[in-house]
Every structure is written in C-alpha cells, then in structure tokens.
C-alpha cells in the first residue's frame, strides 16, 4: 500500500480529457467523485489515456514479478476473476486446487509428508503475508515454551542478514519483535552464517535465511547455518529453528540445483515461503508458506468459521481475495511440470549469462552477482568520478528500460549497483539490445564535462560586489564535498530496503 496525502489545493484540480469534444465537455475532478455519470466508452478512454504514461511491464527489469502468461491461462484468470477465494464452501474445487498446490510444493521442498498425509501450508498474498504468518508461528511457539518454563517472554528477536527484504522489517515492527541484523561487507553481500549464529540468544525465535537475495540474487548457505546452529543448540539446550525465505529462489533451486540442501532436508528448517508470482510464473498476488509438520503451526493461530456454509479453518492476515492466482498457479504446475520449469529456469540463466558477458566486455563494470542463484545481473561502475550508476539508470529510461540503482545495506553502503532481473519474458535479443543501449549511454556520459573530483561549488551567504563596479551583487562561491551530498540524496531514495517485490 502506498500512503498518499492530498492538499486542499490539489483537491480542486481537474482532469482534462484527451478527446473532450467526443465524450465529455467538462473537466473531471481529480480527487472527488464526479457528480454525474458518463458513458462507459468515455470512462474507458479516460483511464486508458492516463495509463499510457505507465512503464512497459516487459521492460521493467527492476521487478521479480511475472509479467507474461500464456493466453490459455489468461482465459482461466478472466473466467474466475469474480470468485472470492475465502468462500470455500461455495467454491470447493478452488479450495481443492489450493490444497494440491500446497502438497506439490511441500514435496518439491522435501517435506517429510507420507503418501497418505496432507502437507501443512496456505496460499497467501505474496511472500510478505507468508513471512508474517511464518513469523507469527515462530513467535507463538517460542512464547508458549517460555511460559511453560516460567521464563520471560516479552523480548523476542529474529536474526537475519542486513540484505533482507523490507517485509522482514515490517514483521518485526508490526508484531513487536527485535530485528537483529548481520551487517554486510564489501564483496560479501549475504548473511554470514557464523556471525548469525554468534548473535543468537535464548530470545531468538528463529534465524531467517534468504534463498535468493533481493540485492544480488545470491543464495545464502542454509546448510552451513543448519550445522552451526545445531551445534549451538546442543551446547545451550535451546531449540532455535530456521525459516527459509525462498521468495525468489524456491522455484529455481529445485530445478537447476536439485542436490543443493537448503530446504526441509535440513532438520532445523521448520517453514519455507515462496512467491508464486515471481519464478512460480504467475501474475502478481500469490505466495505460499509451507510448514515442516503440523507441530510447527500452533493450533491457536488457526481460526474456524462457519458463517459461509461449513466449518472452515483459516490462517491468513487477509480475508477476501481473488481465486484466480491460485487457479493460475495450479495451471502452471500441471502445464509445465518439473521438466517445463527446469527449461524455463535454464533459459533465464542462459540469458543472464549473455547479459553478464556483454556488460563484462565493456570493461567499465564489476559484476557483483553470482553464477549460482537467482538469474539476476548486478553490477557496479569501476570509475564513478565522472558519473554514477544512478545517472546511468536515469538515462536508460529514455530507451524504455527500468533498471534500478541502489546502495548496499550496512556495512557496504559505499557500494552502489545497477540490477537487472532476468524473467521468463526477457529474451536473448533483449539482453543484446540492453547492452547496446548501455554502451550508447556511457558514450554520451563520457562526453560530458567531468565532475570536480571531490569538491563542487556552493553558494554562501557572503556577497561580493563586482570588481567592475556595475552595481550588481554576486554570491561568492566556495567549495564543498559534492560526492557526499550526492550519496546522501540517493540514500534518502534508495538507502532503505525498498528494492524488490514480494
């Protein structure tokens, strides 16, 4: 949700229609409901004209979220767009499809589920809700255990890397859990398992590992974390568990690196979230959270309602929501199968390699993303004395590309990078075109007058009369450090955890 404010002055602004003479004669109020209705054709034209200024989703290389699905799935989505997911008694087949998806993902993540058992999980609105639910389960289990032992239970904490997505900060703030972050360092932009285990204490409800960092796409070493945390648990008598945030990597690692141990094969991993709307290849709005077993989801968090027709268990932060994302996810799982998902992910990785090679050949950037991980290409300028990655990002918009630039979290804030997310709809030819456009931009920027290396002019309050005696007053120009000002400005915009979409 984006919080907006409207001033009194803005509330009086009007919207002037493009084809006013054909449809409406009077301008529409921007922030008030119009007094009269209008023809449906006019309403469509007005909204459509405004949306023309939106970016092209296919060229939005900032987002991990899927922007293309097959026409057959689009038809299924439109035919079910009026179904409310929460009406389980009225739409029992939709509920069954969700259960099938949960079980498919549980088996994909090696949950210890027997052939005659049902997996424990739920569909969510993206990974943000999934993480909230998993965090609540950890908090409630930890509190119950502390209460039973007669120990304080008012200061829970969670251990993460400083590279976590903003939804983890939201969870900590909204549900009053201290967030203990492992700081990053130059050249190492994921959580260090050893440092994470060091700051675990008796109040730690879980350690959150990221399978596919938003910053660079890199996988954190969940197996090593499991080994180190198991050792500490034995030494202290604690039972600190692990949650894996596989929002981006959960639909990649099982298909490209099936032998990589990060999931329920590791005993301390109790829950996993994954975004169906990222590399699950579904449009925005669907995520999943899977628990290892029923014991890992406290019963007191599950509500039972019957006013929609029958007893329905529910564990969500939302209530009403569309069914089409669940239906679309099931379509993709049966349409592609294991082989299809593997082919898509291999193709994404191949296109990421093409882009990486093209950027490397320029000799102007350092690649900071890794070969094993989410197909993301993150790169920094070797020389930022004449221009920055932020300027490159801004110039790319002239060609239609949306490529984010941002600074790394603490303690690597001095590193600024560009990041390209390779999705299914990003082709080999688009990768080559992007490389060509970056080269054009660099050539243009190279011709600009060089910035002063560390200082720039700034107007002060001191006034000096012109030596010619023309009666004009001129401000004296002294020098200040411009690079610090630039970094400070961009940190206001990009320094917070705002990159990436759950």
CATH code assigned at 244: 3.40.640.10
Q: Which of 287, 306, 335 is the last residue of a domain?
A: 335
Q: What is the CATH number of the domain that holds 398?
A: 3.90.1150.160
Final residue of a structural domain among 424, 445, 466:
445
**Is there a single domain that holds both residue 331 and residue 369?**
no
Residue 88: in which H helix or E strand, if any? none
Per residue in 195-252, pLDDT (tens digit) is 999 999 999 999 999 999 999 999 999 999 999 999 999 999 999 999 999 999 999 9
Question: Hey, how many other C-beta atoms are within 10 angstroms of the C-beta on 234?
Answer: 9
Q: How far apart are CA 27 and CA 17, in angstroms?
A: 7
Q: Name which of 44, 59, 169, 80 is nearest 403 in CA terms.
A: 59
pLDDT at 33 over 60: yes
Please list the residues that pair with 242 across neighbouring strands: 207, 269
Do 421 and 377 lie in one domain? The reply is yes
SS3 readout for 465-483: ECCCCCCCEEEEEEEECHH
Say yes or no to pLDDT of 432 above 70: yes
* Whether residue 398 sits in one domain with residue 329: no
Whether residue 122 contacts residue 142, with contact meaning beta carbons closer than 8 Å, is answered with: no
Pairwise CA distance, residues 380 & 366, whole Å: 5
Same domain, 159 and 232: yes
Predicted pLDDT of residue 461: 37
Say if 94 falls within a structural domain. Answer: yes
Interhelix angle for 428-446 vs 324-362, to 10°? 50
314: helix, coil or strand?
A: strand
C-beta of residue 131 within 8 angstroms of C-beta of residue 502: yes
Does residue 455 form part of some domain?
Answer: no
The pLDDT of residue 472: 47
In percent, the amount of the chain with pLDDT more than 90 equals 74
pLDDT over threshold 70, residue 144: yes
Q: Can you tell me the distance from the alpha carbon of 68 to that of 287, in angstroms, rounded to the nearest whole number? A: 17
Residue 416 in domain: yes
Residue 261 resides in a domain? yes
pLDDT for residue 2: 56
Q: 283-319: per-residue pLDDT in tens?
A: 999 999 999 999 999 999 988 776 555 566 778 898 8
In a domain, 480, yes or no: no
The answer to whether position 402 is within a domain reads yes
pLDDT score at 464: 42
Sheet holding 405-407, edge to edge: 365-367, 376-381, 416-421, 405-407
Single pTM value for the model:
0.87
Write the pLDDT tens digit of every residue in 309-348: 556 677 889 888 899 999 999 999 999 999 999 999 999 9
Please tell me the distance from the alpha carbon of residue 419 to that of residue 356, in angstroms, as a whole number: 11
The C-alpha atoms of residue 374 and residue 365 are separated, in whole angstroms, by 20
C-alpha R_g of the chain: 26
Same domain, 281 and 387: no
Looking at the fold, whether 314 and 384 belong to one and the same domain comes out as no
Distance CA 83, CA 92 (A): 11
Is residue 480's pLDDT more than 50?
no
Residue 19 lies in a domain: no
Burial 278-304 (b: 16+ CB within 10 A, else e): bbbbbbbbbbbbbbbeeebbbeeeeee
d(Cα 263, Cα 255) in Å, to the nearest integer?
Answer: 13
Q: What is the tally of structural domains in the chain? A: 2
Instruction: Verify that 283 and 404 share a domain, yes or no.
Output: no
Q: Domain residues for 386?
A: 338-445
Query: What CA–CA distance (Å, rounded) separates 395 from 438?
Result: 9
- Assess whether 116 and 238 both reside in one domain: yes
Residue 274 and residue 288 in contact, taking contact as beta carbons nearer than 8 Å: yes
What confidence score (pLDDT) does residue 466 get? 46
Q: What is the pLDDT of residue 9?
A: 59
Task: Determine the 3-state secondary structure of 306 from DSSP.
Answer: coil
Q: What is the mean pLDDT of residues 466-483?
A: 46
Q: Which two tokens stand for residue 396?
A: 């790319």
Say how far apart CA 118 and CA 489 lie, in whole Å: 52
Residue whose token pair is 């209460």: 147
Distance CA 57, CA 456 (A): 38
Give residue 458's pLDDT band: very low, low, confident or very high (50, 70, 90). Answer: very low
56-60 mean pLDDT:
93
Using DSSP bridges, classify how beta strands 303-305 and 312-314 pair: parallel, antiparallel or unpaired: antiparallel
Shared domain for 283 and 391, answered yes or no, is no
- Does 109 fall in a domain? yes
- Under the banding of pLDDT at 50, 70 and 90, the label for residue 8 is low
Strands 178-182 and 242-245: unpaired
SS in 3 state form for 181-226?
EECCECCECCCCHHHHHHCCCCCEEEEEEEECCCCCCEECCHHHHH
Tokens of 243: 């949650």
Q: Are residues 329 and 437 in the same domain?
A: no
Helix axis angle for 389-396 and 482-494, nearest 10°, is 60
Q: Is 358 exposed, middle or buried (0-12, 13-18, 19+ CB in 10 A)?
A: middle
Q: Which residue has the tokens 């976590």?
A: 164
CA distance 198 to 228: 9
User: Are 281 and 381 in a shared domain?
Assistant: no
Among residues 313, 335, 357, which one ends one of the domains?
335
497 vs 175 pLDDT, higher one = 175
Token pair for 81: 């767009």
Beta strands in 56-174 (DSSP E): 120-124, 157-161
User: 324 and 402 share a domain?
Assistant: no
């Amino acid at each position: 949700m984006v919080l907006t404010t409207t001033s009194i002055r803005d509330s009086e602004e009007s919207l002037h229609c493009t084809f006013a003479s054909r449809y409406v004669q009077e301008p529409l109020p921007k922030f008030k409901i119009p007094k009269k209705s209008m023809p449906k054709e006019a309403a469509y034209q007005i909204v459509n004209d405004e949306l023309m200024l939106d970016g092209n989703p296919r060229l939005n290389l900032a987002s991990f979220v899927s922007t293309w699905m097959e026409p057959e799935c689009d038809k299924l989505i439109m035919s079910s767009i009026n179904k409310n997911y929460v009406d389980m008694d009225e739409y029992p087949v939709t509920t069954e499809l969700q259960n099938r998806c949960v079980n498919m993902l549980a088996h994909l993540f090696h949950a210890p589920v027997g052939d005659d058992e049902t997996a424990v999980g739920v569909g969510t609105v993206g990974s943000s809700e999934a993480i909230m639910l998993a965090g609540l389960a950890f908090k409630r289990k930890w509190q119950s255990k502390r209460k039973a032992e007669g120990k304080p239970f008012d200061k829970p904490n969670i251990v993460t890397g400083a590279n976590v997505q903003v939804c983890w900060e939201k969870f900590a703030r909204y549900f009053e859990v201290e967030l203990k972050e492992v700081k990053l360092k130059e050249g190492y932009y994921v959580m260090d398992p050893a440092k994470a285990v060091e700051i675990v204490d008796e109040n730690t409800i879980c350690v959150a590992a990221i399978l596919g960092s938003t910053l660079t796409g890199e996988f954190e070493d969940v197996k090593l974390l499991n080994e180190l945390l198991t050792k500490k648990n034995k030494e202290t008598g604690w039972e600190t568990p692990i949650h894996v945030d596989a929002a981006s990597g959960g639909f990649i690692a099982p298909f490209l690196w099936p032998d990589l141990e990060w999931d329920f094969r590791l005993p301390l991993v109790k829950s996993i979230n994954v975004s169906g709307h990222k590399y699950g290849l579904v449009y925005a709005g669907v995520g999943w959270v899977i628990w290892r077993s029923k014991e890992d989801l406290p019963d007191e968090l599950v509500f039972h309602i019957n006013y929609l027709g029958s007893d329905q268990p529910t564990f969500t932060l939302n209530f009403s929501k569309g069914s089409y994302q669940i239906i679309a996810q099931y379509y993709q799982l049966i349409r592609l199968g294991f082989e299809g998902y593997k082919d898509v992910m291999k193709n994404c990785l191949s296109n990421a390699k093409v882009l990486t090679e093209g950027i490397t050949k320029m000799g102007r950037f350092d690649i900071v993303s890794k070969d094993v991980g989410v197909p993301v290409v993150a790169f920094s300028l070797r020389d930022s004395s004449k221009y920055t990655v932020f300027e490159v990002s801004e110039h790319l918009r002239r060609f239609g590309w949306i490529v984010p630039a941002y600074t790394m979290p603490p303690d690597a804030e001095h590193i600024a990078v560009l990041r390209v997310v390779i999705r299914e709809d990003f082709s080999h030819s688009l990768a080559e075109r992007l490389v060509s456009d970056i080269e054009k931009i660099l050539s243009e920027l190279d011709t600009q007058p060089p910035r002063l290396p560390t200082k720039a002019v700034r107007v002060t309050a001191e006034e000096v009369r012109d030596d010619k005696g023309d009666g004009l007053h001129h401000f004296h120009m002294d020098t200040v450090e411009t690079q610090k000002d630039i970094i400070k400005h961009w940190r206001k915009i990009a320094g917070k955890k705002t990159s990436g979409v759950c």
